[in-house]
Structure 1
């Protein structure tokens, strides 16, 4: 199998590393990380870690996972990438194909947004490939994406900013809502561990129910509610406070920030 170099092994990069290891083992994985403490942690976890890419074969896969603000400096530190003709996968929020092409000097890349659930192979990756992307490039990208969860392709690059909000930031939004549920439970007198177990099972069980039955989210919502019942009272509070509008504002703010990073 080709080697996979993860350039930038912070939160997202390390999630991909651990997800890939579960499928393929670690012998084909290389973490490129300048942060000493993070590099030491990954080395202790059994990964091969270095500060830069010293050698690379033409078929090797490179995953660009550095913060978008550090992209150009990362390429300067790893100039071997400027002559690399193999697959490159960007997971950097806001960095457009135009910017990638200008900096890398070629178009052998995929723009994508995975998320941190990749660490447990339950991620969702949304990716965009240019019209002239070869089948080998897409196949290489899908090897990576398939090892860390499921993936979907979009034909309009303009959707990638919304994808960043949805897929990239989605776990944080769900976790924020989960924290509100857990805090309620603790405030009502449940122990913190019991509150956590209830909260995580609610998320897991509901997601599994939606996935296995194919029911829509609102169908499940309506099935739980009864007229004049307790759940209906809770949903009415959401509606009075325009929860849908608040979530839309939050996602739009994240998407707009992705656009700003691209500039």
Structure 2
């Protein structure tokens, strides 16, 4: 079955980001179905020409593919009443919810479904996200191509297999924007102590992070070499890096990412069915 219509259960920020990317790529708004129990969240989508509804059964009936974008703790209660409709329609299922495994989604919806589990991150809101994708055994190449078009509209993506690697994606990308925000916050505080204004620090630090990220993505050069190229012998940058190394920055980062990874596993176990 070719995918012409795409429904969303949940109309929060991630849904908005995906819809924005789809419309920018030429996807017809009349083929997008947005469902949310709060009508006020649907108004902006209606203004774009999308179909909106507060009835999830209607959204399922109209959708060739269905994005599940509800909070993880609400997923089971939202999906169970939809099982019969989903079994009749047999849409491709794409989940953007953290911690909910493919097996649980399949079970709640009656089984035998093509499901793509995804782990996007918040930079998707500015079309600069990073998304990990896992496909179960019923997903076809056509399904994958559709999903790739979907997530290419909000940034970059990578397929992972087995599904357990979604925990690694969570630690490396899903939660990672907060790591960079926290690092930028620490830099900004110090920059202000050293005399810069808050605005000056924010722009200079933010642009530097953006530029460094662009350099990482546009070259295959090892990260260690990229770092070394900025360091002149006995210069300012070398002194800063030496300070990081003295504090064992690798251990600090490893501990944080491991804590994130393990919490992702814990939540998956708590929410499994």
Relative to the length of structure 1, the TM-score reads: 0.88
CA contact (8 A) 1:75 1:81 kept: no
1:163, 1:178 → 2: CA distance? Answer: 22
> Is it true that 1:52 corresponds to 2:58 in the alignment?
no
Give the equivalent residue in structure 2 for 1:90: 95
CA contact (8 A) 1:162 1:252 kept: no
1:207, 1:145 → 2: CA distance? Answer: 19
- 1:154 Cα offset (Å): 1.4
Give the equivalent residue in structure 2 for 1:31: 34
In the alignment, structure 1 segments of 5+ residues that lack a partner are none
1:36, 1:190 → 2: CA distance? Answer: 45
> Is it true that 1:230 corresponds to 2:236 in the alignment?
yes
In the alignment, structure 2 segments of 5+ residues that lack a partner are none
1:93, 1:227 → 2: CA distance? Answer: 45
- 1:116 Cα offset (Å): 1.8
> Is it true that 1:107 corresponds to 2:90 in the alignment?
no
Pairs within 5 Å for 1:146-225: 146-225=152-231
- 1:186 Cα offset (Å): 2.2
1:239, 1:43 → 2: CA distance? Answer: 53
After superposition, the Cα gap between the structure-2 partners of 1:169 and 1:45, relative to the gap in structure 1 and judged at 3 Å, is farther
- 1:20 Cα offset (Å): 2.5
> CA deviation digits over 1:226-253, x for unaligned, max 9?
2222112211221122222121221222
**Greater Cα offset, 124-133 or 87-96:** 124-133
**Greater Cα offset, 197-206 or 1-10:** 1-10
CA contact (8 A) 1:88 1:108 kept: yes
Q: Secondary structure at the match of 1:24?
A: coil
- 1:135 Cα offset (Å): 2.0
Q: How many residues align?
A: 263
After superposition, the Cα gap between the structure-2 partners of 1:84 and 1:177, relative to the gap in structure 1 and judged at 3 Å, is farther
Give the equivalent residue in structure 2 for 1:259: 265
After superposition, the Cα gap between the structure-2 partners of 1:224 and 1:2, relative to the gap in structure 1 and judged at 3 Å, is same
CA contact (8 A) 2:45 2:52 kept: yes
Aligned CA RMSD, in angstroms, stands at: 2.4
Q: Secondary structure at the match of 1:34?
A: coil
**Greater Cα offset, 199-208 or 184-193:** 184-193
CA contact (8 A) 2:34 2:59 kept: no
Relative to the length of structure 2, the TM-score reads: 0.85
Give the equivalent residue in structure 1 for 2:131: 125
CA contact (8 A) 1:52 1:77 kept: no
1:36, 1:62 → 2: CA distance? Answer: 19
> CA deviation digits over 1:170-192, x for unaligned, max 9?
22212221222222222222122
